[in-house]
Structure 1
Amino acid sequence: MIDPTLHNTEEILRLLQLEQLDTDRYRGQSHFMGSPNVFGGQVLGQSLHAAGVTVPGRRVHSLHSLFILPGNLKLPIEYEVERVRDGGSFSTRRVVATQEGKRIFVMSASFQQEEEGLSHQKPMPPTRDPDTLESSIVKWKQSASSGRRPFQPVPVDFRADHAGDIYDGHDGKPSKQVWTKSPLALPDDALTHETLFAYVSDYGFLWTSLQPHGIRMGDPRLQIASLDHTIWFHRPFRMDEWLLFAMDSPNASGGRGLCLAHVYNRKGELVATMAQEGLIRLREKRA
Structure 2
Amino acid sequence: MATMREVLALEDTDGVDEFLGPAVESRIDRAFGGHIASQAVAAAQRTVDGKGVHSLHGYFVGPGDAKRPMELRVERIRDGRSFAHRQVKVCQEGALIFILMASFHREGDRGPQHQDAPPAVPGPAEVARLGGGAPYSTRIILKEWEDWDIRLVPEEGREAAAAEKTGAGFRHIWFRNTGDVPDDACFHRAALTYMSDMTLIRSALIPHQGDRVQLASLDHALWFVRPFRVDEWLLYEQVSPSASGGRAIARGKLFNEQGELVALVNQEGLTRFLDENLGSGSAHGNWQKV
Coarse TM-score class (shorter-chain normalised) = 0.7 to 0.9
Give the distance between the partners of 2:67 and 2:193, measured in 1 at CA: 22
User: SS where residue 115 of structure 2 aligns?
Assistant: coil
Per-residue CA deviations over 1:198-225 (Å, capped at 9, x if unaligned) read 111111111000110014xxx7x32110
Higher helix share: 2
1:38 to 31, 47, 61: 31
Moved more, 156-165 or 276-285: 156-165
Q: Spell out, residue by residue over 1:161-220, the C-alpha distance to the aligned partner (whole angstroms, 9 max, x if none).
A: 22499xx445999861111111235321011111110111111111000110014xxx7x
Give the alignment of 1:1-287 within 5 angstroms: 8=1, 11-21=3-13, 22-114=15-107, 115-134=109-128, 139=133, 143=136, 151-163=143-155, 168-169=163-164, 176-184=171-179, 186-215=181-210, 221-286=212-277
Q: Residue 97 of structure 1 aligns to a residue in which SS?
A: strand
42-51 vs 178-187, greater mean Cα deviation: 178-187
User: What RMSD in Å do the two structures reach over aligned CA positions?
Assistant: 3.0
Alignment partner, residue 285 of structure 2 = none
Assess, with a 3 A threshold, how the Cα gap between structure 1 residues 119 and 182 changes in structure 2: closer, same or farther.
Answer: same
Distance 1:184 1:70, change over 3 A: same
**Conservation of the 8 A alpha-carbon contact between 2:43 and 2:74:** yes
Counterpart-to-counterpart distance in 1, 2:169 and 2:21: 35
Cα gap change, 1:137 to 1:197, in 2 (>3 Å) = farther
Moved more, 127-136 or 268-277: 127-136
Instruction: Report the 3-state secondary structure (helix = DSSP H, G, I; strand = E; otherwise coil) of the residue aligned with 1:43.
Output: helix
Aligned pair count reads 271
Task: Extract unaligned runs of 5+ from structure 1.
Answer: 1-7
1:70-89 per-position Cα deviation (integer Å, ceiling 9, x unaligned): 11344321000000000110
Identity in percent: 37
SS in structure 1 at match of 2:171: strand
1:127 counterpart SS class:
coil
Q: Residue 149 of structure 1: CA displacement?
A: 6.8
TM-score normalised per structure 2: 0.84
Match in the other structure for 2:284:
none
